[in-house]
Amino acid sequence: MNWKQWLFGRRELTLALACVAVAVFFQFLSPYFLTTDNLTTILRNSVELLLVSLGITFVLATAGIDIAVGGALGICAIFVGWSVQGDWPLAVVVLIGPAIGTGLGLVSATLVVQGKIPPIIATLGLFGVYRAAIFLLLGGSWISGLPDRLGPAVNTTIAGIPLTAIYILFFYLIGWVVIRWVPLGIAIRATGGNERAARLSGISIGGTKFFVYGFTGLLVGFAACLYVARYRNVETSTGGLIALDAIVASVLGGTSVLGGKANLLGTMFGVLLVRLLQNGFVLIGVPSLWEQVITGALLIGVLILDAWAERRSPNYTRWLATR
């Protein structure tokens, strides 16, 4: 393989290099960038996006998509918030988020599998329904000033490592093991790669899809818990368009929307890169309004890079041939 493929062939490597480059750049302009505090902050601020992106990566690997995760996050956050307000036992508070999240994820799965509705339509529709549900549930007032019961869940450090980092590593590890070693993971990639062939070889497409959407829901629910723990406030805009950010991170990380592969490490670096840039810009005084432009430029840049390095998803070439 030529040098272009070697250097840019492994997206995680490219992204990791980019992160380093960005870090050096910002450190040069602002001495506060590479401090433990700042880096910990960046990590803590990325937790929800990291979790949701993990789920989205799985969904994308099956050639699906889930635009509704933002709405699902909001709904889970509302229930977590209520349980904290209502002084329910800690076990309930911690479990209610993932439980509802998984439930909502299974709704998406049902529409896609049983209803045979293309994922983009199903989740687009659900997004509208969820947003309406959030409004109705909140009834116009936010859940504010929540007692700090969940605080320790996000703020403690064990031997200098923030607990949040452990959560992320935990889930990503599970994800990695599943994708690489467990038959389910192979099923996921096969479904995305070539659904008909996968079905013919005996893989349960329905079961696989139920898993990815349900798993995403679980992650979303957990992320909602962490959200409530950190911000102690749930408003009608909670969740929002996080789906798009998650898709950006996954694509940056090398996962293709066409399915067939899942680059978890890439996704992680993708999220990190975006957050590093966001943080860095504030530190050097660039107005936060330029962020979106940077994200867009990054995304397009990565795509062009792919094209240039002649590194195409084998799926894409195959997909092209079938059209």
Partner 1 sequence: MTTAFKQIRFSGLLVLWLIALMVFAVRAPAFFTLANFTSVLQFSTLLALVTLGQTLVILTGGGGIDLSVGGIVSLSGLAIASLIKDGTAAFVAGIAGVVFGGILGSINGFLITRLRLLPLIVTLGTYYAYNGLALALTGGVPISGLPSSFGLLGQDAVLAIPLHTLVLVAPIFLVMLFTLNQTPLGRWIYAVGSNEKAARLVGLPVDAIRLGAYALSGVLAALAGLVADSWLLSARPNIGDNLELLSLTATLLGGTSIFGGSGGFAGSLAAVLFFTSLQAGLQMLNVNSIWQLGLVGMFLIGSVLLDRMIRTAETK
Partner 2 sequence: MRRKNRWSACFSAGLMLFTAGIGLAQSKPKVAFVPQIVGIPYFNAMEEGGKDAAEKFGVEFVYTGPTDTNPAEQLRIVNGLIDQGVSAVSLSVLDASSIDPVMKKAKEKGVKIFTSDSDAPKSEREVYVAQARDQDLGYTIIDELAKRIGEQGTIGIVSGEATATNLNTWIGFMQERVKEKYPKITLLQPQFAGGTAQRAFQLATDLMTAHPDLKGLIAVASTTCPGVAQAIETAGKIGKVIGTGYGSPNTVRAYLKSGAFGFSVLWNPRDLGYLTVWAGKQLIDGKPFAESNTVPGLDQPAKYDAATKVLLLGPPTVFTKENVDQYKF
d(CA 162, CA 43): 9
- Residue 112 burial (CB count, 10 A): 26
Of the candidate spans 14-22, 28-36, 83-91, 104-112, the one that interacts with partner 2 by CB under 8 A turns out to be 28-36
Smallest gap from Cβ 304 to partner 1, in A, equals 7
Note whether 250 and 60 are within 8 A (CB).
Answer: yes
Which one of 83, 194, 216, 238 is in contact with partner 2 (CB under 8 A)? 238
Smallest gap from Cβ 7 to partner 2, in A, equals 32
Q: What angle do CA 61, 119, 138 make, to 5 degrees?
A: 110
The residue type of 294 is I
Task: For residue 193, count CB atoms less than 10 angstroms from its CB and return exposed for 0-12, middle for 13-18, buried for 19 or more.
Answer: buried
The answer to whether 292 contacts partner 2 (rule: CB under 8 A) is no
- Coil/strand/helix, residue 139: coil
Which one of 193, 232, 247, 271 is in contact with partner 2 (CB under 8 A)? 232
The partner in contact with residue 285, picked from partner 2, partner 1, none with C-beta cut-offs of 5 to 8 angstroms by kind, is partner 2
Q: What is the DSSP letter of 288?
A: G
Residue with smaller CB distance to partner 2, 33 or 319: 33
The answer to whether 230 contacts partner 2 (rule: CB under 8 A) is yes
Residue bearing tokens 């990815």? 212
The answer to whether 282 contacts partner 2 (rule: CB under 8 A) is yes
Which one of 9, 13, 163, 235 is in contact with partner 2 (CB under 8 A)? 235
Q: Which two tokens stand for residue 239?
A: 């969740």
Name which of residues 30 to 49 contact partner 2 (CB under 8 A). 30, 32, 35, 37-38, 41, 45, 48
Residue bearing tokens 């320790």? 152
Which one of 167, 222, 227, 319 is in contact with partner 2 (CB under 8 A)? 227
Name which of residues 118 to 147 contact partner 2 (CB under 8 A). 135, 138, 140-142, 144-145
d(CA 71, CA 185): 27
The partner in contact with residue 243, picked from partner 2, partner 1, none with C-beta cut-offs of 5 to 8 angstroms by kind, is none
d(CA 108, CA 70): 13
Q: Which residues contact 169 (CB under 8 A, 6 or more apart)?
A: none
- What residue ranges bind partner 1 (CB under 8 A)? 111, 115-118, 120-122, 124-129, 131-133, 135-136, 244, 247-248, 251, 256-258, 287, 289-300, 303-304, 306-307, 316, 320-323
The answer to whether 287 contacts partner 2 (rule: CB under 8 A) is yes
d(CA 101, CA 67): 14
Smallest gap from Cβ 99 to partner 2, in A, equals 22
